[in-house]
Amino acid sequence: AVDSRFAHESPINAFSLSADGKLLLTAAIDRTAKLWSVPELVELHAYPTQPDVVAALWPDAAGREFIAGRMNGSLDKLAVLDSHPRPDVELATAKSAPVASVTNLVELAEQEPNSQPGEAQAIQLPAEIKGAINGADDRDLYRFQARAGEELTLAINAARSGSKLDSRVEVLFPDGRPVEQVVLQAVRDSWFTFRGKDSDTSDDFRLQNWTEMELNEYLYANGEVVRLWLYPRGPDSGFKVYPGEGKRQTEFSTTALTHALNEPAYIVQPHPAGSEPVPNGLPVFRLNYENDDDPSHQWGADSLLLFTAPRDGEYLARVSDVRGFGGETNYHYALTVRPRQPDFAVSVGGKNPKVSPGSGREITFAATRIEGYEGPIRIDVENLPAGFTSSAPVEIEAGQRSAIAVLHAYREVIAPDQAADEAVRVIATAVIGGREVRHELGSLGDIQLAAPPKVTLAILPGSDPSAVRENSDQPAEFFIRPGQTISALVRATRSDFEGRIEMGTADAGRNLPHGVFVDNIGLNGLLIVEGHTEREFFITASPVAQPGRRKFHLRATADDGQASLPVILEVLPATAATGRRASLEP
């Protein structure tokens, strides 16, 4: 048998096995490098984007690192850590109880026969039932009560415990009819162009008539539903779908699938269950409460279904194998049915930062959203050492997964001692169900001073003075409305660096609000060429951009990622004006 995985968005040009044959390191033309387990081919770690294309890889005999040789002649060691965590990312453990903590979970054992609606085993919630799919025709049903509007979680633990079961969980009415979740009406038709799509990645969805599509719209293809996150950003790109990076997130409990070239796809609008949309000549898709794989990929192949009861009464939970498999051994599962527990966790990237005096480094915050919580998350960084500032508080916007702050050092700063490092506190806060939930994320680790910067960046007003307000002792403020494009200027100060200053492609604008992006980047992205120190760039707000204020910055890939001081971008409310440029006065 041959196993394959979608590994990189561009061709792989170098790879190497570890000395013991248990690890594989791959490097691609887009400067990405990833570590994989062998033979499972599970991604263990994604290294930071390399300064240049990695042309050769060589493992050390001890199995602790790989030597990477790059096209620019540089060599570097890519470390292999115990259990292979991300070296600069630490997942926060929630110290506060979940909003709807379940402490009285009743443990039950499956009672056969329970394959037909009339045989369904009655359970009292909250409950965990341990059962097994004993044959190809086995379906296990459990009867429970729910009130109209009650939000429940149905979760399967099977594959995570070594079971062969590829689970599917459904909610039915007592007579066995499926409970409808949503009605999707197609409003535009399309199809996959250039190439098909695998079942994992969130990037490069090439779609016919993409210019007629808008961000946050739902895309339906062969039973899978995703949401559009970012437009194609150049002549050789496609849409990004939520969450914008990594494995894609599906909507309405659908399962990610592989899609063929020229396969039909539709932009759809959701309607309440039971709706009968006015016919428009395009299909209508009715989705029921069922799930194969966890839509957010947190639980792998195990099922996770968020159910909202449409009315008071009895319901059935049905467990089966999606392939129709089953057996006397090793098709066991544990089904939990309980009140929903919305929550979140936040990981901190860029710990142990090395900050150059007079410049900044990025600190990244990535949210894991749990059981349907999609609201905003505020990140505070407190008690920084003397001589250091940050752009916190920053916010992970509602429905989004990340935010980026800049840790800046004054020119005359003194390196902090251990006590100063340990005094720093990072705190994530959100309001869930009307209650403030606060998670302590620890410190930023060992804050160190780096060598003086070779490149520093500053964001300045562009050619349109009406789009910016300069403040003598505060960051400049830029103003934009949905549907508009404004200009700004990036100025670089070079010190012993004469090369090209690259500032990213689709990710060029750091920490911009959702729906706002650096535009007109072409194939090479935002950059300042050799011998120059300035570049005008353009910021566009899509029609979905929401009013609000947010700090953003630029980052140079040169000199290990020097970050500019942030400026403020305020998205103003949309106007009814059409065919003319609306005023940007706040």
Radius of gyration from C-alpha coordinates of the chain? 26
Distance CA 478, CA 471 (A): 11
DSSP 181-221: EEEEEEEEEEEB-SS-B-SSB-S-B-BTTGGG--TT-EEEE
Nearest-5° angle of CA 287, CA 291, CA 297?
Answer: 125
Between 280-284, 556-560, 568-572, the lowest mean confidence (pLDDT) is in: 556-560
Assess whether pLDDT exceeds 90 at residue 90: no
Mean pLDDT value of segment 487-500: 94
Mean pLDDT value of segment 222-246: 93
pLDDT tens digits, one per residue of 319-346: 999 999 998 789 999 999 999 999 999 9
CA pseudo-torsion sign 345, 350, 353, 356: negative
Nearest-5° angle of CA 538, CA 540, CA 546?
Answer: 145
Residues 142 and 129 sit within 8 Å (Cβ to Cβ): yes
Distance CA 461, CA 315 (A): 60
3-class SS string, 439-499: EECCCCCCCEECCCCCEEEEEEECCCHHHEECCCCCCCEEEECCCCEEEEEEEEEECCCCC
Does the N-terminal peptide bond of residue 393 adopt cis geometry, omega within 30 degrees of 0? yes
Give the pTM: 0.82
Going from the C-alpha of 378 to that of each of 101, 341, 428, 430, 544, the distances in angstroms are 22, 20, 6, 6, 21
- Work out the pLDDT band at 275, boundaries 50, 70, 90: very high
For the stretch 550-560, what's the b/e string if a residue is b when 16 or more beta carbons lie within 10 angstroms of its beta carbon?
bbbbbbbbbbb
Going from the C-alpha of 570 to that of each of 263, 459, 479, 535, the distances in angstroms are 40, 15, 5, 22
Nearest-5° angle of CA 513, CA 522, CA 540?
Answer: 30
- Work out the pLDDT band at 456, boundaries 50, 70, 90: very high
Look up residue 345 and give its two tokens.
């966790």
Assess whether pLDDT exceeds 80 at residue 135: yes
pLDDT tens digits, one per residue of 354-396: 999 999 999 999 999 999 999 999 999 999 999 999 999 999 9
Between 31-45, 307-321, 336-350, the lowest mean confidence (pLDDT) is in: 31-45
**DSSP assigned state of 419:** H
Coil, helix or strand at residue 258: coil
Residues 247 and 201 sit within 8 Å (Cβ to Cβ): yes
Assess whether pLDDT exceeds 90 at residue 138: yes
Look up residue 281 and give its two tokens.
């000549």
pLDDT tens digits, one per residue of 501-560: 999 998 999 999 999 999 988 888 999 999 999 999 999 999 999 999 999 999 999 888
Q: Considering only CA atoms, which of 161, 114, 158, 154 is closest in space to residue 138? A: 114
Alpha helices in 245-324 (DSSP H): none
Residues with Cβ < 8 Å from 83, sequence gap 6 or more? none
Strand (E) or helix (H) holding 421: helix 418-423
Residues 517 and 511 sit within 8 Å (Cβ to Cβ): no
- Work out the pLDDT band at 5, boundaries 50, 70, 90: low
Q: What is the pLDDT of residue 177?
A: 97
Q: Is 213 exposed, middle or buried (0-12, 13-18, 19+ CB in 10 A)?
A: middle
